[in-house]
Amino acid sequence: MNPAYLPPPPTSFNSPTNGFAARSIDPNIPPLPNKNGPIGAPNMPPTAPNLLNGPPIGQNPLNQTPTVPPHMPPKTATNFPPVGTPAPMQQPYLNNIPLSNNNMPPSFPPSQAPTGQPSTFGGGGPQMKPNNNQYPGQGPPPISGQIPLGRPGPLPPMPPNPNIDQMSSQVQNMSISGPRPQQPPGYMTQSPRPQPGYPSQGYVSQQPGYAPPQMGYPPQQPGYGPPQLQPQKQTRLDPDQMPSPIQVMEDDQRTRSGVFVTNQKGLVPPLVTTDFTVQDQGNCSPRFIRSSMYNVPITQDIMKQTAVPFSLVLSPMARLSKDEYPPPIVNFGELGPVRCNRCKAYMCPYMQFIDSGRRFQCLFCKATTDVPQEYFQHLDHTGQRMDKYERPELVLGTYEFVATADYCRNNTLPKPPAIVFVIDVSYNNIKSGLVSLLCSRMKEIIRNLPVDQGQEKSNMKVGFITYNSSVHFYNIKGCLAGPQMMIVGDTQEMFMPLLDGFLSTLEESEAVIDALMDQIPQMFAETKETEIVLLPAILAGLEALKASETTGKLLVFHSTLPTAECPGKLRNRDDRKLLGTDKEKTVLIPQTQAYNQLGQDCVANGCSVDLFIFNNSYIDLATISQVSRLSGGDIFKYTYFQADIDGDRLVNDVIMDISRPIAFDAVMRVRTSTGVRPTDFYGYFFMSNTTDIELAAVDCDKGIAIEIKHDDKLSEEEGVYIQAALLYTSCSGQRRLRIMNLSLKTCSQMSELYKSCDLDTLINFLSKQCTFKILDNSPKVIKEAIVNRAAQILATYRKNCATPSSAGQLILPECMKLVPLYVNCLLKSDALSGGSDMTLDDRAFVMQAVLTMDVNTSVNYFYPRLLPLHELSADPDAAPPTPIRCTIEKMHDQGVYLLENGIHLFLWVGLGASPEFVQSVFGAPSAIQIDIERPFLPELDNPLSVAVRRLIEDVRLERHRFMRLTIVRQREKLEPVFKHFLVEDRGTDGSASYVDFLCHMHKEIRGLLS
């Protein structure tokens, strides 16, 4: 066996990267600062135009004309008419928007819509005819619509464009209502509209009933009233007719739900929000790998012109739906997995058997390899193996091989992994009730250790360490009368004082563990220690796993900035005023390399670190999180933790963390067919070379983004083949290889690319890339680069693929019509734009969250889900209410709404909410009497209360964090925090609304085209 997958020995970890390695270095790009060793990832150039990766839009080196193969009807673009040129609407389709002027065009209900007539708008717009054809397997045809553009909203000042014509002037001079407040040059603002209950004029930074900013969010800006709750008559622009993510998701659910069969090359999967069941027939489930494009351009020139990144987001341990089968496990015994001799790709459906079955040709590198005698089988008259349908590796996209000792650390088969609880027992954690809570519910927690496929119970072991200014180990051997405590006071030189008895299972040592959990709160009840260590405690857990010759995970429960004199001591550098400025990176990068080095030591020994943070003040998460980032861990944060309020949330998070599907001591490599190669990697992992992604652990909720670039011209006939192989230890201690295969089409026409893009994957990749690069560049440069890239994507489509039409029309490709919305949401997100209204730790936390998100999580994070609870039926079999658009325009005083983004969960109650609803759900006679301080709903014995609590529970189960419920009453102090997450509205910090940003994007596109 070729030991290409063997993890490198510890001595080879002397030239690390920081988990975001790049294979190709552009000589024109300056290197990154040296954070934890030589780094290969390219730095962001200082100016935005260089970030677009392409020639000017006007160049078309291939002189392409959009063509469509006969089997694929053309996908209709979404067209937007010129501003200020109203014309009667002929089609009552989605995306038709009333134009500027008070004369609203006629609209028709669907039943009265004129059919079969072309829709023509003033200014020479294209004539669109309904397309009644359907794509094979893709539901009804796309709908064309036309959107007029209003005035751009407030954005960072852009350079003047000499080509702005009458349309742009008109855009800039539009005003929805009221005077415009004075702003610095380059800003264009939208004045607030009056609303019931609010003064119609702008208001100062604190209104009666508004407390100072809460939870790290900004004060209200002078001159901006809160957005209205009841929409007024629109006189200029109807946001309802802008492309809506809710409508896109509903359409996809209606047309693509059900069974998704993976038997075609380059088949675009349903959206992640769609409820579908995967039937594996040769390509892996989109739950494991999603691509930003399923039709790859054959040349680098087309990629540069379109600016669409070719990226993959991998979640190798993703959860499957209830009707899907787990990947089958194939055991070749001592033979081990069959592989290509040259590129080491594993046997898969893409290998072609030749020479009567004695050899096979690899589709990744074209080399031929002899078939081992034990694996030989005759071919039938079609050239297929006689046993093809008996072997998962020849027909499925995802399967697992049992690995031999050649694939194991030190050529030794592994032991079952272990979980070590590392608990801070300093004054803060004792006082908050954390230590007592954990100890009292520890048995409940460890009964939820993961059970491997085909096993009846978990055989993982557990161990316990406590620490304050010293570190304490515990012997929990089952034959002891009680636990034994050993203290290491010298934190400068950490060692493992126990040779045996540190790790044990609950069955073997239940009585001893019970006694230990009773004793720990008593032993430290009177402690006054506030100066504590952290790095020595994590090192103690690592040494314990090394001494036990096993891999596993440390769960570290920590409360305070480590200021004790020992390795890993940190200073307080809390200065939130730097956030949002060019100097913010000075407080967002680690202040010491000690935690980076510890993270590398952890991953070298298969030890992952999850941090549970209970801070009441600055804890420097940007520095201490490095140990989790490099070891493939996770971070959970509970600011101002109180056991009686947050206890259930913590216990649920710990149980979820240790029970979810997980791989230990893993190495992943992505192989591609000739012509393309993976170059850049983003996520929580470590790379000691340019190809192997090393993960001390990877769970079902992690997403790893990879950018793939051309290094040669592709052929249109063959396509692109991708194989991701994850070598890991299962929770039962079996060494396995999970193989995931994906085949994509290739194309020579841009129009084919734009028909097969996955926008959700694209935004996930861009969010990870920008979050990483913002540590080395100013926020302004990063944001300009995102806007410019999005504008180039859409401008190239307009120039090369769309029907010729008036320059005043905004034309968007059907599968990317939400690009302006999602890019604006990305720009407004706390990960990129969190300013001095946040704490440094909050900013570091959301940045790490974005870096680890899978596609499903990121879609919900950037565009939160807003549910009208007042529409919920008390019937237990009724469907949950349909989400509404994330804007205050869709909310009213009589409503009750639930907003969640995977991290925050808000319940907003209007002052006019129905007394019956309020009484049934909150147990109060009116909205004003609801107790908004408690983070839970009372358990009342009525069907509506049960239905609301069940819905909230279901929402929490869909996310991998137990979100704390925050009840917000209309016009009270927390409402600005809630409105911060209404991403279609103008931000309290002056960030653009969706409508304004769409106008700005149109202006940018026209600038590129002119």
pLDDT in tens, 467-508: 999 999 999 999 999 999 999 999 999 999 988 999 999 999
Residue 853 near residue 771, CB atoms below 8 Å: no
| Mean pLDDT computed over 402-431 | 96
720 burial via Cβ count (<10 Å: 0-12, 13-18, 19+) = buried
Question: Does residue 364 sit in the same domain as residue 432?
Answer: no
Residue 994 near residue 236, CB atoms below 8 Å: no
Residue of 904, 917, 869 lying closest to 982 (CA atoms): 904
Question: Does residue 508 sit in the same domain as residue 636?
Answer: yes
On whether residue 316 sits in a domain, the answer given is: no
Range of the structural domain that residue 538 is part of: 417-659
Residue burial 494-505, b: 16+ Cβ < 10 Å; e: rest: bebbbeebbbbb
On whether residue 367 sits in a domain, the answer given is: yes
Q: Which of 613, 633, 659 is the last residue of a domain?
A: 659
Q: Which is higher by pLDDT, 91 or 269?
A: 269
Q: Report the predicted TM-score, pTM, of the whole model to 2 decimal places.
A: 0.79
Question: Does residue 352 sit in the same domain as residue 495?
Answer: no
- Strand 418-424 and strand 352-354: the pairing is unpaired
Per the document, the length of the chain is 1010
As for how many domains the chain has, the answer is: 2
| Mean pLDDT computed over 79-84 | 45
Q: Which is higher by pLDDT, 163 or 920?
A: 920
| Mean pLDDT computed over 765-780 | 95
Local structure of 59: helix, strand or coil = coil
pLDDT score at 805: 86
**What is 271-306 written as a DSSP string?**
PTTS-EEEE-SSS--TTTEEESBSEEESSHHHHHHH
On whether residue 559 sits in a domain, the answer given is: yes
Q: Which of 361, 395, 429 is the last residue of a domain?
A: 395
Residue 233: count of CB within 10 angstroms of its CB: 7
On whether residue 639 sits in a domain, the answer given is: yes
Of the candidate ranges 110-114, 475-479, 514-518, 770-774, the one whose mean pLDDT is the lowest: 110-114
Residue of 789, 750, 748, 801 lying closest to 77 (CA atoms): 801
pLDDT band at 858 (very low <50, low <70, confident <90, very high): very high
Of the candidate ranges 217-231, 232-246, 508-522, 585-599, the one whose mean pLDDT is the lowest: 217-231
pLDDT score of 881 more than 70 = yes
Of the candidate ranges 76-90, 224-238, 777-791, the one whose mean pLDDT is the lowest: 76-90
Q: Which is higher by pLDDT, 663 or 100?
A: 663
Question: Does residue 349 sit in the same domain as residue 470?
Answer: no
| Mean pLDDT computed over 612-626 | 97
pLDDT score of 325 more than 50 = yes
pLDDT score of 977 more than 70 = yes
Which residue in this structure is represented by tokens 């680690």?
Answer: 590
pLDDT score at 781: 95
pLDDT score of 88 more than 60 = no
| Mean pLDDT computed over 412-419 | 96
On whether residue 454 sits in a domain, the answer given is: yes
pLDDT score of 166 more than 50 = no
pLDDT band at 237 (very low <50, low <70, confident <90, very high): low
pLDDT score of 244 more than 50 = yes
pLDDT score at 534: 97
pLDDT score at 238: 79
Question: Does residue 526 sit in the same domain as residue 621?
Answer: yes
Which residue in this structure is represented by tokens 């005023």?
Answer: 577
Q: Which of 360, 395, 430 is the last residue of a domain?
A: 395
pLDDT score at 453: 87
Of the candidate ranges 18-22, 244-248, 821-825, the one whose mean pLDDT is the lowest: 18-22
pLDDT score at 934: 92
Helix (H) or strand (E) holding 767: helix 759-773
Please tell me the distance from the alpha carbon of residue 572 to that of residue 581, in angstroms, as a whole number.
20
Where does 376-511 show beta strands of DSSP type E?
398-402, 418-424, 461-467, 471-475, 484-488
Local structure of 848: helix, strand or coil = helix
For residue 153, what are its two tokens?
Answer: 């909203």
What is the C-alpha R_g of the chain? Answer: 29
Question: Does residue 424 sit in the same domain as residue 344?
Answer: no
Local structure of 411: helix, strand or coil = helix
pLDDT score at 231: 47
pLDDT score at 706: 98
Question: Does residue 426 sit in the same domain as residue 535?
Answer: yes
Question: Does residue 521 sit in the same domain as residue 567?
Answer: yes
pLDDT band at 807 (very low <50, low <70, confident <90, very high): confident
pLDDT score at 11: 40
Q: What is the DSSP letter of 911?
A: T
| Mean pLDDT computed over 618-641 | 97
On whether residue 827 sits in a domain, the answer given is: no
Question: Does residue 431 sit in the same domain as residue 474?
Answer: yes
Residue type, 735: R
Q: Where are the alpha helices (DSSP H) in 307-407?
A: 392-395
pLDDT score of 50 more than 70 = no
Residue 402: count of CB within 10 angstroms of its CB: 17
pLDDT score of 277 more than 80 = yes
pLDDT score of 204 more than 50 = no
Question: Does residue 561 sit in the same domain as residue 446?
Answer: yes
On whether residue 939 sits in a domain, the answer given is: no
pLDDT score of 68 more than 90 = no
For residue 303, what are its two tokens?
Answer: 């990629």
Question: Does residue 524 sit in the same domain as residue 450?
Answer: yes
pLDDT score at 808: 83
73 burial via Cβ count (<10 Å: 0-12, 13-18, 19+) = middle
pLDDT score of 179 more than 90 = no
CATH number for the domain that contains residue 369: 2.30.30.380
Q: What is the DSSP letter of 1?
A: -
pLDDT score of 723 more than 60 = yes
| Mean pLDDT computed over 153-173 | 38
pLDDT score at 989: 87
**What is 628-694 written as a DSSP string?**
HHHHT--EEE-TT--HHHHHHHHHHHHHHHHHS-EEEEEEEEEEE-TTEEEEEEESS-B-SSSS-EE
pLDDT band at 876 (very low <50, low <70, confident <90, very high): confident
pLDDT score of 839 more than 70 = yes
Kindly report the average pLDDT of the chain as a whole number.
Answer: 82
Residue burial 589-626, b: 16+ Cβ < 10 Å; e: rest: ebebebbbbbbbbbbbbbbbbbbbbbbeebbbbbbbbb
CATH number for the domain that contains residue 569: 3.40.50.410
Please tell me the distance from the alpha carbon of residue 679 to that of residue 686, in angstroms, as a whole number.
15
**What is 480-540 written as a DSSP string?**
SSS-EEEEE--TTS-----SSSSSB-HHHHHHHHHHHHHHHHHHTTT-------SHHHHHH
Please tell me the distance from the alpha carbon of residue 225 to that of residue 235, in angstroms, as a whole number.
19
Question: Does residue 342 sit in the same domain as residue 473?
Answer: no
Residue of 695, 606, 698, 21 lying closest to 315 (CA atoms): 698
| Mean pLDDT computed over 97-121 | 35
pLDDT score at 514: 96
For residue 589, what are its two tokens?
Answer: 């990068």
| Mean pLDDT computed over 47-59 | 41
On whether residue 43 sits in a domain, the answer given is: no
